Amino acid sequence: MLSEKKITPGEKKLALPLLDNPITVRIKFCKTGNLQFVSHLDLQRTFHRVLVRANIPMWYTKGFNPHAKLVFGLPLSVGTESTCEMADLKIERKIELEDIVKQLNEQLTDEMYVLDAYYPTTKFADIAYADYTIKINSTKINADTALKATSIFALPIFMKKKSKSGEKEVDITEYIKKIQFESCDGQLTARAILSAGSQENLNPEYVVSALRCCEELSDELNGMTYTIMRNKVYDGFMVEFK
């Protein structure tokens, strides 16, 4: 008796019905742990390979050098973790959104995995703010550290900031919509909502640098270590971006 021919994942993909027009799917994913040290360029390359390995029916441009349409929402700085990363890709065949999540996660890890897939109704250009949790650890941090940090950010803080036109000195508090500090023995936690749009943005590393360079906290933050987590992004009306 002849055995049935096994259908490969690639053949399953090609068996999916073609769409009349390619459609955009938004992927929401986490990037945590050691993967916080992967650059945005390397992430782009990695994600493209994952999409190919997962047999997602991507749409490719026409011409001599076809490539998939893949756009990331808000580039993440090296050393920052996130639970709200987003990327848009175009697909050319009909596939269930649940299958996209399942097939991608089969190729990913515990430090980078897909949370959701959906059809977007917003544009990445609408992103205006990002919510971060910054945790600073040092043996000399105490309950009063948060009060000192709060008083520091109540005043203008001038720092050199890089932009497309070069480096200039700016008041970084103008890019901070909200910041709150809490501290206990050994840890200072900052919860900050920072500008994150295409025109105005502030890397959370500036918050860390401002604290570390402050004379009032020099003793408490001596030998400090820290982590940064991006939790959510918002539009200009402070509505969570999706």
Query: For residues 241 and 120, is the Cβ–Cβ distance under 8 A?
Result: no
Q: What is the pLDDT of residue 64?
A: 80
Is residue 4 over pLDDT 70?
no
> What's the pLDDT score for residue 6?
63
Architecture per CATH, 9-121: 2-Layer Sandwich (3.30)
Taking the domain 125-235, which CATH number applies? 3.30.70
- Give the predicted TM-score (pTM) of the model: 0.91
* pLDDT tens string 168-220: 899 999 999 999 999 999 999 999 999 998 889 999 999 999 999 999 999 99
The CA radius of gyration of the chain, in Å to the nearest whole number, is 22
Among 158, 177, 13, residue whose Cα is nearest residue 91: 13
Listed in sequence order, the DSSP H helices in the chain are 9-15, 40-53, 97-105, 145-152, 205-212
**What pLDDT shows up at residue 166?**
78
Is residue 7 predicted with pLDDT exceeding 70? Answer: no
pLDDT of residue 95: 95
Higher pLDDT, 167 or 205: 205
Residue-wise pLDDT tens digits, 26-57 = 999 999 999 999 999 999 999 999 999 999 99
Does 233 score more than 90 pLDDT? yes
Render 87-150 in DSSP notation, one character per residue. EEEEEEE---HHHHHHHHHTTSBTTB-EEEEE---S-GGGEEEEEEEEEEE-TT--TTHHHHHH
- What residues does each domain of the chain span? 9-121, 125-235
